[in-house]
Amino acid sequence: MNIEIIEDRVINWQRQAHQYLIIKEYEQAANLYEQAIESEPNMISHYWYLGLMLLLQGKEVEAQITWMLALEDVEAENIQSHTQELIQVLQIEAERQENLEDFSVAWVISQHIKELNCHDINNLLKIVYFSFKLNNHKATEFDELGIIDLLNSQKFIDINLQLLLQVLQQVLDIQPLDKFSIDYIQSCLPYLINTPELLNVLLPAVMRIGYTFKLPATAAYILEIYLNIQPKNLEILRHLTNLYYNAKKYSQSIENAQLYFSLSTGIPDKIFAVHLVISILISTGGDWETITLKTQELESLQQKFITEDSLLLDEVKTLLVLTPSFATPHLKDSPHDFRKIHNQLAQICQSNIQAIYDEPFKRYSQSITHHRQQGICNKNKKLKIGYVSYALRRHSVGWLARWLFQHHNHEQFEIYTYLVNYNPLDQLAQEWYVNKSDQAHKLGITALEISEKIYADQLDILIDLDSITLDISCAVMSLKTAPIQVTWLGWDASGIPAIDYFIADPYVLPDNAQDYYTEKIWRLPHTYIAVDGFEVGIPTLRRDELDIPTDAVVYLSAQRGYKRHPETTRWQMKIIKEVPNSYFLIKGDAEEEAIKEFFYKIAEEEGVNASRLRFLPQDPSEAVHRANLAIADIVLDTYPYNGATTTLETLWMGIPLVTRVGEQFAARNSYTMMMNVGVTEGIAWTDEEYIEWGVHLGKDAALRQQVAGKLRQSRQTAPLWNGKQFTREMEKAYQQMWQKYIS
């Protein structure tokens, strides 16, 4: 037969077969290739395609037999080249099926490629990639396929880095915590270390593992793998320091913070590094001499940043500057000085954020102008209220804000919730905040993503519950996505000029506070926070088990380590010394040995025997914690940073409290709460009064009973325990803000 005729027939067979392949008529295509083999039995490629068509029909055994029979007749020196031809045919079809998103078929084909070449790393990665797509991946697959060993062998120069990164993304998104997944992460990072997209894949996943799923030690381990390859990466060091801190691995946290500072060249990084060192030291009850020196260094760096040309930083550097202010109110009560510096930092940060996101910021501003015109035309409209926070979950803010959501009037207000860094496993978020909102957005940790959602919803008022405890929220508020922006509950005011109001009450800020706040202070008539109560569990603490006599006077302090100040602790020891047969229980999240050393040292200096101190473990739940408060006769508050949620819980449980009132917001929380339950016994305006009240309550059992009776009675009458009344007052404030805005 003429060669040209044969070639034409081959081309025609291939064209027809390909058409059948496209329309999934695999049996018809197989028939054509059978005819081709009958006509040209020596053309081995016909066998490759026939086997493929059988495979696509699900006839895997027949396909393998077809290929093997063809290879049996091939001379030994040609087997490798012909096998490679077959692999290429299969790879092309696997890619086609992948493009069609038929991952099941692509997975089957890749498995057969593996049978032909079990060391093809790209094909093995494809198998894993398809397994994830099909939701049938097992972490052991990395081991079973030999991927880890192959990657560790470092033999590959043609590895598909994009595929390697895609599989890493899948591992981090879906199954990051298994041992084999960790092994894969460790094995693939050396290949990807110079890939620009790596950190964009790695960091969000690590943040989710560490913060959303509360596994900071695992997240830190993953970052350590990266750091072993790039030991001077400042961004990794910064995150690693925070993760070790949250994992209570304080020595590693300090070590990384100090390395981060030594490698930093810019002021923003140095500011944040010093802040990290201070935060770790005060949380562990650490070296206060060092804390004092570091605080002075922080303030010096902040002043330097303000005076230098600090505009047009990137977003990360900008936000590093604002959140370190969080440490200062834990150390001293000087709001005039503090806010003078902090407000300037907030102004700079806002200007930078608006410049970085210039296009969306202008779009938001134009929309607000139009929004106001619509509001003027419809003055009595149903207001759209939005709440943005990462803390609307099992968190102090989450426990306290829920009553506002419970009692909101949905006939007059449309409630939107923006759950930052949303965790689907948090039942409180689901029950109270998703279910009780007209619309809830479950968001990540990207400022622009959050801002765009808020902008799209066209809110009238946006309330921030995070203040400077979350840098992302600061960026969102700086972009002014709503006509009226308010800070409430989460912390003191952030100082960001784009925020219009700060919710307070007659007590929590002094009368002259407006002199040093950039936000307009909006004082509610009674209290800036109210709850309908708390769930209380079964107590697990008993005096006899703590070796405390039944007739002893028991004092308690239940605060996180960073609220403990040596001067306040000294007052507490003076109280214990003055009250016979008294004991001091200490509970709070801190480094156990460091906090013991902290208290023992001050106790010794004040002449208090260490045997009168008891250190309590953390309780298994919030409800059990509240029940266990009942073991105490008196709770001693912290200063200059008071309790907030812990104070509410103490008062709800009917336990007398001693608090020192200061000038700053954080030093007046307990004061406003006590005023709002009608109890003044225990409110101290000086250091000496704090000690006097502590001794007086300890020695006078009748006074304690009188205060406890007032607290029990307050449950029926006090504004602090009336979430519904509080909600009406907040809603009235929103309406007044809106009327003021449009007029």
Q: Do residues 154 and 184 both lie within one domain?
A: yes
Which of left, alpha, beta for 249 (phi over 0: left; psi -120 to 50: alpha)?
A: beta
Q: In the sheet where 553-558 sits, what is the strand order?
A: 613-616, 582-587, 553-558, 634-636, 657-660, 683-684
Among residues 558, 553, 542, which one has the least CA distance to residue 575?
553
Residues 403, 322 share a domain: no
Q: Residue 371 in contact with residue 383, Cβ under 8 Å? A: no
Average pLDDT for residues 154-175, to the nearest whole number? 86
Q: Is position 23 within any domain?
A: yes
Question: What is the per-residue pLDDT across 76-94, written as a single tens digit (0 to 9) for each?
Answer: 888 888 899 999 999 999 9
| Residue 3 pLDDT > 60 | no
Answer yes or no: is 629 within a domain.
Answer: yes
Residue 70 shares a structural domain with residue 188: yes
CATH code, domain carrying 449: 3.40.50.11380
User: Domain of 156: which CATH number?
Assistant: 1.25.40
Of 196 and 162, the structure prediction assigns the larger pLDDT to 162
The 3-class secondary structure across 210-235, one letter per residue, is HHHCCCHHHHHHHHHHHHHHCCCCHH
As a whole number, mean pLDDT of residues 331-341 equals 94
Report the chain's terminal Cα–Cα distance, integer Å.
Answer: 95
Please state the rounded mean pLDDT for residues 445-463. 96
Give the dihedral sign, CA 452/454/455/456.
positive
Please say if the pLDDT value at position 470 is more than 80. yes
Beta bridge partners of 486: 463, 501
Domain CATH number, residue 569: 3.40.50.2000
Lowest-pLDDT range, 72-76, 320-324, 345-349, 537-541? 72-76
Query: What single string gives the DSSP state of each residue in 250-263?
Result: HHHHHHHHHHHHHH
**Confidence at residue 19, expressed as pLDDT on a 0 to 100 scale:** 86
Domain C-terminal end among 312, 332, 355: 355
- Please indicate, yes or no, whether residues 412 and 443 belong to a single structural domain of this protein: yes
Same domain, 570 and 660: yes
Please tell me whether residues 376 and 426 are part of one structural domain.
yes
Q: Are residues 330 and 351 in the same domain?
A: yes
Of the residues 174, 205, 236, the one at which a domain ends: 205
pLDDT (tens digit per residue) in 353-389: 999 999 999 999 999 988 877 767 677 789 999 999 9
- Report whether 383 contacts 738 (CB < 8 A): yes
Mean per-residue pLDDT of the chain: 91
Same domain, 328 and 378: no
- Does residue 498 lie within any of the structural domains? yes
**7 or 133: whose pLDDT is higher?**
133
Do the domain assignments include residue 61?
yes
pLDDT of amino acid 711: 98
481 and 342 within one domain: no
Gap between the Cα atoms of 45 and 31, Å rounded:
15
Using the predicted structure, report yes or no on whether residue 565 has a pLDDT greater than 60: yes
Same domain, 367 and 312: no
Residue 117 maps to a domain: yes
pLDDT interval class at 8 (50, 70, 90): low
Percent of the chain with pLDDT over 70: 97
Q: What is the mean pLDDT of residues 555-560?
A: 91
In a domain, 733, yes or no: no
d(CA 401, CA 490): 10
Supply the range of the domain harboring residue 551. Answer: 544-720
- For residue 193, the number of C-alpha atoms closer than 13 Å in the C-beta half-sphere is 15
Query: Which pLDDT value is given to residue 1?
Result: 47
Do residues 452 and 484 share a domain? yes
Maximum mean pLDDT: which of 179-193, 199-213, 486-500: 486-500
- Residues 263-317: tens digit of each pLDDT: 998 899 999 999 988 888 888 776 788 888 999 999 999 999 998 866 657 888 8
Domains: count for the chain: 4
Q: Which of 185, 205, 225 is the last residue of a domain?
A: 205
Same domain, residue pair 364 and 343: no
Q: Is residue 401 domain-resident? A: yes
Q: Is the dihedral of CA 103, 109, 111, 117 positive or negative?
A: negative
Is residue 306 situated within a structural domain? yes
pLDDT of residue 4: 53
Structure pTM? 0.83
Condensed to tens digits (0 to 9), the pLDDT of residues 432-441 reads 899 999 999 9
pLDDT tens, residue by residue, 660-684? 999 999 999 999 999 999 999 999 9
